[in-house]
Structure 1
């Protein structure tokens, strides 16, 4: 271990010494006064004075602690011991960017003790590492992958540590390469390499630049003339020559030396990965090498020791051996493996793999990589490498299978999140257009109802049209919820309180056959969300769970479990999720004992209008609404299946809401919601400038405002509105849509406010107010959500005028 010395502090600080002296003086004075006056009261007064002085000095020391230079030297022995025992390369730096300590693996990886981020990597990697370090100082942790150091692919994790959060811990490990390369290097240079040497098998690990990283003793003896020859770091190709027949020999032995069979084993992906090379003596030129049973046994031992998936196949395409890593990647039992490699694959991939094995068994020299699908998991392709293995007894082909299930899972999660984002944008746009249409329909219905009384023959038909329009408006609100563009009223609340409020309703919804269990964890932090919307989330998930359990067993019902728990940033870091940022969360888990979610649809359940229910029994917006509410609240939701004691398998939905730390100040330009008392007198006078690009919405709004007594000027976009203002007097109110072609509402209003700073503004939009605040930084503006009725428009206009 390497450590940076830190200056030590004196044994007793001046403040503490002064406090002790003052206390001793006070006590001595009190004894003298007591002896002289025989008055305990006077002596007690002197003693109290001394204690007061001591307390003041100690308080001064606490309020003004000594600087860093006076701090005692930290005990780095524990940190050095932990770092030395870590399989990763570990370094610790302080606030000044100085290297405090690092372990031996760090020294071996970077050829010394360079200070992060100034490591021997490419310039782009140094810049990325510097940015990750700044992120770790700010957020507490950061990670980065695909760093290239001395031919090794690395990933780094940086965490803030120390009692005062004044240290950074840098941990580096190979993205497969560091661990596997070091393991193979140790195998070759250790006893296993000696056993291979005893069987006449020469093995070497070659770096990407063609230089030798490790070699066993028989290769050193043949290449250098003695077993102690220093071959590390030398160009491997310089030790070999090729004759006119294409036979390979050692350069030191010349053309009279024994020809060699060269077997390359690419056990890692990528151009920067090291290569395992095995050399075997051949007899009779290009004939089959003579290899005994002992050598073959050693080769099989080497295969079984490899930490990556390897298997040997004979000339007939049958398995001879597979190691545990290959069995895990192929998800088969190593005790009873399949007969042929094709038995692992789907029907469409069997022919391609069989042809490749046949080609390499007949002498093909170059390896190949194939993307194949296992029959047990046809939706997740895996990487299969195939290479010739002549010279290993009965083995003719070497297979290497990479277990990329974790990588596939992460790709699937990222793709799902990307797809949901795109679908959400589409749903939001559709909802916005529908809101414009519904605004016109509802407005015209209101205008017609003003001309008809309840006894008229058309009155009921108009009311029916209006009711259906309001029903359609509720569907658009669900689409806006999915696209995270609905209007929320967030509050600081405790999640158990929300569950308690909705529990009574849940018991009625679930019925007598379904048992509801609720369990709350400890130390739950507050969250910031809309309580009504959270209740809708719980109700939607509970109703879906009830339907799933009753579909599985209509008479038996099942159990719905609701659990809350605290999830710390450390817990999130251990989860290793690329979707969930590292932070403190309050988790809500809703699980049932139904039939679970079929794997083929688990990635679609949050999409709008997707449903597994019968036609007419569901809109497909329940889970999409849940998804939108959770995401708009800053949270994350995951769906999975779980197994309860091997008996009941059901679905589990996990919701993570971030812990609310401190209240955020209101942003400048936030639009006040129209929650003030509604004006009773909706008639008014004055001029209103109405700006709306949709003709049907502009027409119904103009008629509605004119009926209320206003003079209305209309414009179809922002530029036309500015021209009207230039030709007319100042209006009393400006009502504008937000999203318009040519010039949008906020841009127009900024120019209008430059001329009329106190002009009241009323924005109307089919998008949510929360969504629009990000692009509107204006003061004293109000908001009206579409679709709206004639009554709501009149109330909003009167309210905006009264707020002047």
Structure 2
């Protein structure tokens, strides 16, 4: 524990009588009086002995008094002695909460043990190591607390991003010279602490006026907080803090098991005790602070729910309804027969019946399989002894997500016999679904990338053999057209693999700094032909749009895919007439802040909005439209890769895409809207580079080429293609064979190698041979994306050819690399 004030006290200064100016003057006056008295005595007696004896006696007496005062002088400090913090440190020890006290210079005066464990004993709250925004929020809270008396800073994040806190500062002390800081971990936010603050404030006073006293009791039976009315009746002082005292010690019972306040005894009215467990406030993951904390309500006789003679449908009294309605926990009550009496708004939200209201029985809220179990549990708690427990049920509104329903038998509240508690987990369930969706999309993306790689190997062999067969046939032959059809379908399959790579965000992007309206203009003529004459195509652009950095070809693919989807939706919704609108907009950082979204980082964006009048996307499938192979079109009319490709390209370009439905109006039918946010590029815009002219003649000097490929089909195609182009080709099936060929047959003019192979892969082989032949040209071929491979391989002076490739492409790439290496 810290008590910084004790260590900062200054050494005391000893002040002795006779050392200041006033006392010296007084001593001079006494000395003069002594001299005059001695002179008068001499004139009267003319006896030197008598005068000497008188003066000596007076001097001895003065010396004795001076010595006595000197020995008994008490040292005093120039400043007020520092406060004794030991009592304060003992008082601020609270479970689950770090507490510190700082002075006006933001120096740490004292802190409890939890604060020291989290932050150390020499760092005050305004100087904690936090992220920039969190540190600014905490500093602002300190200023507001000094000015207004209290302030709060929420969701503070540590500099390393591993922890977060909620902080509250309150001015206190003699002269308001200190700030009391209370910090608790936000990830373990203690809802019971909020309940403690409520019952200690105006809500507790309101309940006391209605004859209801409230106290928050920890799992060990010690009170964490109590209302002012409870404190006054238990101790006689409304301002007394009862935290840390045993709850049962404040009460007593008589021989009839009636409950009274211990201080009042039987002179006071008997009380009815109602226990409200708060454990489900922790979202099924209770913290140590509120694992079994309970809200204890003491109701005077006559304050309750109905009377014994009232009907089973009697409603709760307004006082108790007000209490249950103010709590964040969903609470409802039933009678002994299991019929609902009351449910607060949090309970209605949790069961998604805010408009319909409660049914007659709790079993009507759950799926059919859980009805009998819940009905039996409610009857058991209603007719048995007072107890509590919980059970897992599946609500009819959320059949896939089990929830924990708390049950507690209550007595003394008229017809109310069972208290049901249910946490409103709407946001938590939504977050779980989002996380599950993101995990599924990531897994599917990895699978798509792997499938694309293997499929590209197969397509390389098919396209290669088609090219070799076409070299032996001329147009007009019976087989020529068939081979061309095989090759065309293979190229179509290759475009599908590129879409898979786009979805998995592994395609090769060649980003440029460009203006989004220019890309829309480039593809507008193509879109008009795709849409046809019945669909009106409109384009609108904002002014002062910021440039974006993206691959123009990929952006064109995004626009075309969205336009094709819109065309199909319009044609399927009616007579085929409709409208497609594309608009670009300028969105500033301030606009993003006003949106209040946690998905898009604050910044400037250029936005592309694509809106159609095709009736919109069904709400049930709106969250699935970006999944691969999911389509709303008829079987055989869609691959389900269009929107997933759009999603992958946008995300890999650093942007965001959202889909929603636009309700219809008198002037515009309903439709779907896709909004794409691309961050504005900050930096110099490079001038457009002229296209490089292709060399007039390719390399024709031949050479020795080492071809390393584990797939037999691809290796055979590559060997035949390069041999026909005049190269001497040596083949190997993996990296070990490649190194052996180099060692046994001497250096080669060029190495053409696959990347992923069993045993030793291509990059490992190249790094080994570069030690002996550092200048040897290397060409990697792979079905994976070039950009991703370059990041992982990290080898200088390497070239790349993507699969699938044709016979002409592989020959051209080898010729260009050899020509470049030989000058």
Q: Give the structure-2-normalised TM-score.
A: 0.70
Residue of structure 1 aligned with 2:720, choices 666, 685, 703: 703
Shift of 1:305: 2.8
| Counterpart-to-counterpart distance in 2, 1:124 and 1:550 | 66
Bigger drift between 438-447 and 176-185 goes to: 176-185
Alignment of 1:322-333 (within 5 A): 322-333=343-354
Shift of 1:249: 7.2
Shift of 1:115: 8.7
Residue of structure 1 aligned with 2:324, choices 303, 317, 338: 303
Residue of structure 2 aligned with 1:276, choices 290, 295, 301: 295
Using a 3 Å threshold, how does the CA distance of structure 1 residues 449 and 217 change in structure 2: closer, same or farther? closer
Cα pair 1:488 1:770 within 8 Å, conserved: yes
Deviation track 1:80-108 (CA, whole Å, cap 9, x = no partner) reads xxxxxxxxxxxxxxxxxxxxxxxxxxxx9
**1:636 maps to what in 2?**
656
**1:28 maps to what in 2?**
none
**2:806 maps to what in 1?**
789
| Counterpart-to-counterpart distance in 1, 2:489 and 2:325 | 70
Q: Secondary structure at the match of 2:622?
A: coil
Whether 1:201 and 2:212 are equivalent positions in the alignment is: yes
Deviation track 1:525-581 (CA, whole Å, cap 9, x = no partner) reads 3221111211211221122123223323335x4443434334455655665656545
Whether 1:610 and 2:623 are equivalent positions in the alignment is: no
**1:684 maps to what in 2?**
701
**1:534 maps to what in 2?**
555
Deviation track 1:654-708 (CA, whole Å, cap 9, x = no partner) reads 323233234799xxxxxxxx97625634543221111111111111111211222
**2:63 maps to what in 1?**
none
| Counterpart-to-counterpart distance in 2, 1:155 and 1:188 | 22
| Counterpart-to-counterpart distance in 2, 1:317 and 1:584 | 57
Which segments of 5 or more consecutive residues in structure 1 lack a partner in the other structure?
1-107, 143-152, 161-167, 666-673
| Counterpart-to-counterpart distance in 2, 1:321 and 1:412 | 31
Deviation track 1:127-148 (CA, whole Å, cap 9, x = no partner) reads 9x99996654799999xxxxxx
Q: Secondary structure at the match of 1:690?
A: strand
| Counterpart-to-counterpart distance in 1, 2:655 and 2:259 | 63
Residue of structure 1 aligned with 2:678, choices 633, 657, 662: 657
Q: Secondary structure at the match of 2:492?
A: helix
**1:740 maps to what in 2?**
757
Whether 1:560 and 2:580 are equivalent positions in the alignment is: yes
Q: Secondary structure at the match of 1:601?
A: helix
Residue of structure 1 aligned with 2:461, choices 429, 437, 440: 440
Using a 3 Å threshold, how does the CA distance of structure 1 residues 534 and 261 change in structure 2: closer, same or farther? same
| Counterpart-to-counterpart distance in 1, 2:581 and 2:119 | 49
Cα pair 2:231 2:238 within 8 Å, conserved: yes
**1:265 maps to what in 2?**
277
Q: Secondary structure at the match of 1:268?
A: helix
Q: Give the structure-1-normalised TM-score.
A: 0.72
Residue of structure 2 aligned with 1:315, choices 336, 351, 369: 336
Alignment of 1:467-506 (within 5 A): 467-506=488-527
Using a 3 Å threshold, how does the CA distance of structure 1 residues 371 and 521 change in structure 2: closer, same or farther? farther
Using a 3 Å threshold, how does the CA distance of structure 1 residues 388 and 704 change in structure 2: closer, same or farther? same
Residue of structure 2 aligned with 1:620, choices 640, 645, 658: 640
Which segments of 5 or more consecutive residues in structure 2 lack a partner in the other structure?
1-96, 139-151, 160-164, 169-182
Using a 3 Å threshold, how does the CA distance of structure 1 residues 375 and 574 change in structure 2: closer, same or farther? farther
Shift of 1:436: 0.8
Q: Secondary structure at the match of 1:703?
A: helix
Using a 3 Å threshold, how does the CA distance of structure 1 residues 255 and 752 change in structure 2: closer, same or farther? farther
**2:50 maps to what in 1?**
none
Using a 3 Å threshold, how does the CA distance of structure 1 residues 748 and 294 change in structure 2: closer, same or farther? closer
Shift of 1:185: 3.4
Using a 3 Å threshold, how does the CA distance of structure 1 residues 228 and 377 change in structure 2: closer, same or farther? closer
Cα pair 2:98 2:184 within 8 Å, conserved: no
| Counterpart-to-counterpart distance in 2, 1:741 and 1:245 | 83
| Counterpart-to-counterpart distance in 2, 1:706 and 1:513 | 54
**2:3 maps to what in 1?**
none
| Counterpart-to-counterpart distance in 1, 2:491 and 2:497 | 10
Whether 1:224 and 2:224 are equivalent positions in the alignment is: no
Cα pair 2:214 2:227 within 8 Å, conserved: yes
Using a 3 Å threshold, how does the CA distance of structure 1 residues 675 and 394 change in structure 2: closer, same or farther? farther
Shift of 1:734: 1.0
Deviation track 1:632-665 (CA, whole Å, cap 9, x = no partner) reads 2222323333445699654332323233234799
Deviation track 1:159-188 (CA, whole Å, cap 9, x = no partner) reads 99xxxxxxx998989859879656533542
Cα pair 1:119 1:126 within 8 Å, conserved: no
| Counterpart-to-counterpart distance in 2, 1:582 and 1:664 | 22
| Counterpart-to-counterpart distance in 1, 2:647 and 2:497 | 15
Using a 3 Å threshold, how does the CA distance of structure 1 residues 445 and 192 change in structure 2: closer, same or farther? closer
Cα pair 2:275 2:296 within 8 Å, conserved: yes
Higher Cα Rg: structure 1 or 2? 2
Q: Secondary structure at the match of 1:602?
A: helix
Shift of 1:732: 0.6
| Counterpart-to-counterpart distance in 2, 1:540 and 1:566 | 23
Using a 3 Å threshold, how does the CA distance of structure 1 residues 139 and 184 change in structure 2: closer, same or farther? closer
Cα pair 2:707 2:732 within 8 Å, conserved: yes
| Counterpart-to-counterpart distance in 1, 2:751 and 2:136 | 47
| Counterpart-to-counterpart distance in 1, 2:458 and 2:587 | 45
Whether 1:464 and 2:470 are equivalent positions in the alignment is: no
Using a 3 Å threshold, how does the CA distance of structure 1 residues 535 and 138 change in structure 2: closer, same or farther? farther
Q: Secondary structure at the match of 1:803?
A: helix
Residue of structure 1 aligned with 2:621, choices 589, 592, 601: 601
Whether 1:400 and 2:399 are equivalent positions in the alignment is: no
| Counterpart-to-counterpart distance in 1, 2:416 and 2:556 | 64
Whether 1:588 and 2:608 are equivalent positions in the alignment is: yes
Whether 1:185 and 2:196 are equivalent positions in the alignment is: yes
Shift of 1:444: 1.7
Q: Secondary structure at the match of 2:527?
A: helix
Cα pair 1:519 1:562 within 8 Å, conserved: yes
| Counterpart-to-counterpart distance in 2, 1:194 and 1:705 | 91
Shift of 1:733: 0.7
| Counterpart-to-counterpart distance in 1, 2:337 and 2:328 | 26
**1:773 maps to what in 2?**
790
Cα pair 2:213 2:298 within 8 Å, conserved: yes
Cα pair 1:205 1:277 within 8 Å, conserved: yes
Deviation track 1:610-650 (CA, whole Å, cap 9, x = no partner) reads 22222221122211221221222222323333445699654
| Counterpart-to-counterpart distance in 2, 1:130 and 1:766 | 54
Shift of 1:335: 8.7
Q: Secondary structure at the match of 1:409?
A: helix
**2:773 maps to what in 1?**
756
Cα pair 1:261 1:281 within 8 Å, conserved: no
Using a 3 Å threshold, how does the CA distance of structure 1 residues 660 and 227 change in structure 2: closer, same or farther? closer
Cα pair 1:196 1:295 within 8 Å, conserved: no
**2:18 maps to what in 1?**
none
Q: Secondary structure at the match of 1:619?
A: coil
**RMSD of Structure 2 on Structure 1 (CA):** 4.4
Deviation track 1:751-793 (CA, whole Å, cap 9, x = no partner) reads 2222112111111111121121111222222111111111111
Cα pair 1:687 1:733 within 8 Å, conserved: yes
Deviation track 1:255-284 (CA, whole Å, cap 9, x = no partner) reads 99968634133172223335322235789x
Deviation track 1:403-454 (CA, whole Å, cap 9, x = no partner) reads 3222222222222122111111111111111111111122122222222333
Cα pair 1:380 1:405 within 8 Å, conserved: no
